Structures are given as C-alpha cells and as structure tokens.
Amino acid sequence: MKKEFIIVDPVGLHARPATLLVNEASKFASEAKILVGDKEANLKSIMGVMSLGIANGVEFSIETEGSDAEEALSAIAKVIVDGNIGTEK
C-alpha cells in the first residue's frame, strides 16, 4: 500500500515529527518505508528518516507491506496530516 504526501512543516521533516512517524510505524507488524526521489528509508528507524533530509514543499511517499499494512498506512497518514507535517497529494 502506498500514499503520497507533500511536507508542509516550514522546517521540513525534522526530529520532532520524524519521531512521531517512527513511533507510529513501530506500533505495527508491517514493514513501513518512506521514499523521496530515488532514496528510501525504514520508517521505523529515526536515523534512516532523518538521513533523508526532507525539506518543506518536498513530495514523499509512505509505503507499507504486511499483515496490517492498510491499518498502518492509515494511522501513519493520520499522524502526518493531523500533526501538520504534510498533506496528502
């Protein structure tokens, strides 16, 4: 499963929102990845997410795969939108 977003946080995907996403993704058994351009990282790894350096206005995708992939993607998308991290594309 996959959803696309655009970062709206003026500072980009910095430590606080990255931590929120990692914590949410870690609640699920499914694999979760964050993809930006030709780069990707495990959404359950704070270092991986931070290494992408996603700035304001950048498009990115969240991809989940596994037994609870749909539920995981929905919960992660809710954190992104409700936390004003990004908007769905």
Tokens read off for 12 = 């980009």
- 70, 3 in Cβ contact below 8 A? no
* 64-76 pLDDT, tens digit each: 999 999 999 999 9
pLDDT, tens only, 4-13? 999 999 999 9
Give the confidence band of 43 by pLDDT, cuts at 50, 70, 90.
Answer: very high
pLDDT at 58: 98
CA dihedral 46, 62, 51, 39 (to 10 degrees): 150
For residue 37, which amino acid is it? Answer: G
Q: How many domains does the chain have?
A: 1
Q: What percent of the chain has pLDDT over 70?
A: 100
Catalytic center residues: 14
CB 22 within 8 A of CB 49: yes
Q: Which structural domain, as residue segments, surrounds residue 50?
A: 2-88
Are the C-beta atoms of 20 and 86 separated by less than 8 Å?
no
Contact (Cβ atoms closer than 8 angstroms) between residue 76 and residue 85: no
Domain containing residue 56: CATH number: 3.30.1340.10
